[in-house]
């Protein structure tokens, strides 16, 4: 009987030794996991942590018995932890030299209790979470700043600079975690239906910038089945983001350059922070000149520094606002001095205005020389389609010397010079450089003589108006080469017929 008792006692002691020789692997309130070493000690020989369907390894380190990630890990991410424990020698003979442990778990996560808050005047912005967090990142969309809390908190108070707004928030229970951002919007108390917009009302946007509207009530209650109209009429669609938020995504050329964009909200909806209005900058003078050169409307070529601009509407619009680097090079070797002196990269002037007028005239746009939204859209369409001007470049030089003459320079060649008549002293031809603004083969010219009487001359041939009533045209005179006109540049009908095809709208006429 005594022997039996001794055997039973020995077996019980062995079982106790085996149980106490086992290590444990569990989650940890601060670290990723922790190891419970066996009775009598032991050492952690290796730790491997993987995540995802392809077992991507997560770098970790061991501090005491805690396992910590070396970098940031996504919250609510499944991880598998494998640990090898080396047992002390005195128990290794019974339980084995090593023990392998495995733990599969999800990294901790939390959620906001509410994404839409109504706040009293002056009240702080309080974010409430379903479980305590140790790290909160927040800020304007795409500009989150990470903040570590001194202790776990279920409610975090933030300052707010506006009575309404939208921010992104990403919070996690552990300092080594990162979580996806969620939108939080707040509205002033008392408003029947309030809305906030991103980008902020009144700000400058790009032609393709999406506009997001978030309402204090569900969209179905705030707008019904309709969606706000966007002006100017823009290709694009309103998309639902969630029950409270919709976003307008422009397509193609979007709103266009130099536009004021408005969104029409119902009378029962108040946009907090300003009117639902945004501005798109006009294209820069530097890019305007680059495009005009690339399309053949300037006597210069433009060469990009680097790869240039992608052939998409969005890339071209972005380049219009922020022009790429490059170099202008004169296309011809014998550029007239008067024309050469007018060129100033990045500075609008008569040469650029004339080139814009030429482009407008070729594209069915009233030639006023102003690069507004319609002109920019046509320019970008032309550059994308490769529609380059085939006319070339003309510069007309009128000399009021004795004898008076007109010299025509086209595509690097001085084609001809003809005698002309300019204005008499009481009705002189203004000196300077002017772009042709009207180009007709025949017309009636009328006005007032120096003595106050009126004239009306029908059938004047080959007219190119360049400054008010001053024009290049044909006119029958007994002789040419000295002042005889009332401000126009007259020449023989046959000479005018030679000049006229080279002086379409936009051609520069220099009188000196």
CATH number at residue 159: 2.60.40
- pLDDT reading at 374 higher than 90: yes
Classify 109 as helix, strand or coil: coil
Chain mean pLDDT for the chain: 92
Per-residue pLDDT, averaged over 383-399, amounts to 97
Is 214 among the domain residues?
yes
Whether 12 maps to a domain, the answer reads no
> Residue 11 falls within a domain, yes or no?
no
Instruction: Give the residue from 279, 304, 328 where a domain finishes.
Output: 279
C-alpha to C-alpha distance for 49 and 57, rounded to whole angstroms: 6
Boundary (domain end) residue, out of 140, 165, 188: 188
pLDDT of residue 20: 55
Task: Please state whether 86 falls in left (phi above 0), alpha (psi between -120 and 50) or beta.
Answer: beta
CB 416 within 8 A of CB 496: no
Tell me what pLDDT residue 15 has.
41
The label of the residue with tokens 């010397």 reads: 401
Under a CB-based contact definition with an 8 Å cutoff, are residues 168 and 140 in contact?
yes
User: How far is the C-alpha of 236 from the C-alpha of 511, rounded, in Å?
Assistant: 50
* Per-residue model confidence (pLDDT) at position 191: 62
What is the C-alpha to C-alpha distance for residues 488 and 485, in angstroms, rounded to an integer?
A: 6
Instruction: Identify whether the C-beta of residue 247 lies closer than 8 Å to the C-beta of residue 271.
Output: no
Same domain for 86 and 120, yes or no, is no
What domain range includes position 273? 194-279
Is residue 479 within 8 A of residue 441, CB to CB? The reply is no
Domain membership of residue 9 (yes or no) is no
Least confident of 10-14, 44-48, 119-123, 222-226: 10-14
Give the number of domains in the chain: 5
Residue 4 in this model has a pLDDT that exceeds 80: no
pLDDT at 18 over 60: no
Q: Tell me: pLDDT of 14 over 50.
A: no
Per-residue pLDDT band at 7 (split at 50, 70, 90) = very low
Residues 339 and 355 placed together within one structural domain of the fold: yes
What pLDDT, on a 0 to 100 scale, did the predictor assign at position 314?
Answer: 92
Say if residue 164's pLDDT is above 50.
yes
* 234 & 264 share domain: yes
């Amino acid at each position: 009987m005594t022997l039996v008792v001794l055997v039973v006692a020995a077996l019980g002691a062995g079982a106790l030794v085996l149980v106490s020789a086992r290590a444990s692997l569990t989650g940890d309130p601060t670290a990723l996991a922790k190891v419970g070493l066996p009775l009598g000690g032991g050492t952690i020989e290796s730790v491997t942590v993987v995540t995802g369907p392809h077992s991507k390894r997560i770098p970790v380190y061991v501090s005491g018995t805690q396992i910590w990630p070396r970098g940031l890990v996504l919250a609510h991410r499944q991880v598998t932890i494998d640990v090898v424990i080396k047992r002390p020698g005195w128990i290794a003979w019974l339980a084995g030299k090593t023990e392998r442990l495995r733990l599969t778990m999800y990294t901790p996560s939390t959620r906001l209790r509410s994404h839409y808050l109504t706040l009293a005047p002056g009240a702080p912005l309080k974010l409430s979470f379903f479980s305590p967090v140790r790290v909160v990142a927040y800020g304007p969309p795409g500009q989150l700043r990470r903040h570590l809390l001194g202790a776990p908190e279920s409610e975090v108070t933030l300052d707010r600079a506006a009575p309404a707004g939208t921010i992104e928030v990403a919070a996690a229970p552990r300092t080594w975690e990162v979580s996806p951002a969620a939108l939080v919007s707040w509205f002033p108390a008392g408003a029947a239906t309030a809305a906030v917009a991103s980008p902020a009302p009144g700000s400058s946007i790009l032609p393709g910038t999406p506009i997001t509207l978030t309402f204090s009530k569900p969209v179905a209650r705030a707008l019904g089945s309709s969606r706000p109209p966007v002006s100017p009429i823009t290709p694009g669609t309103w998309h639902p983001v969630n029950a409270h938020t919709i976003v307008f995504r422009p397509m193609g050329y979007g709103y266009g350059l130099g536009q004021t964009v408005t969104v029409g909200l119902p009378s029962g909806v108040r946009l907090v922070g300003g009117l639902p209005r945004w501005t798109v900058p006009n294209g820069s003078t530097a890019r305007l000149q680059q495009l005009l050169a690339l399309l053949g409307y300037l006597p210069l070529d433009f060469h990009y520094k680097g790869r240039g601009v992608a052939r998409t509407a969005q890339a071209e619009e972005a380049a219009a606002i922020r022009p790429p680097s490059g170099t202008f090079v004169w296309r011809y070797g014998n550029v007239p001095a008067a024309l050469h002196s007018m060129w100033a990269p990045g500075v609008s002037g008569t040469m650029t205005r004339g080139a814009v007028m030429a482009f407008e005239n070729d594209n069915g746009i009233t030639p006023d020389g102003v690069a507004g939204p319609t002109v920019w859209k046509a320019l970008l369409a032309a550059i994308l389609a490769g529609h380059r001007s085939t006319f070339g470049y003309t510069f007309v030089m009128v000399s009021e010397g004795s004898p008076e003459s007109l010299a025509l320079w086209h595509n690097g060649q001085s084609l001809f010079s003809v005698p002309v008549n300019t204005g008499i002293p009481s009705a002189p031809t203004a000196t300077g450089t002017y772009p042709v603004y009207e180009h007709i083969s025949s017309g009636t010219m009328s006005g007032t003589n120096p003595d106050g009487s009126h004239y009306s001359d029908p059938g004047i041939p080959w007219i190119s108006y360049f400054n008010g009533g001053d024009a290049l045209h044909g006119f029958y005179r007994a002789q040419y080469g000295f002042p005889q006109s009332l401000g126009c540049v007259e020449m023989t009908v046959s000479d005018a017929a030679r000049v006229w095809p080279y002086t379409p709208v936009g051609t520069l006429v220099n009188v000196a």
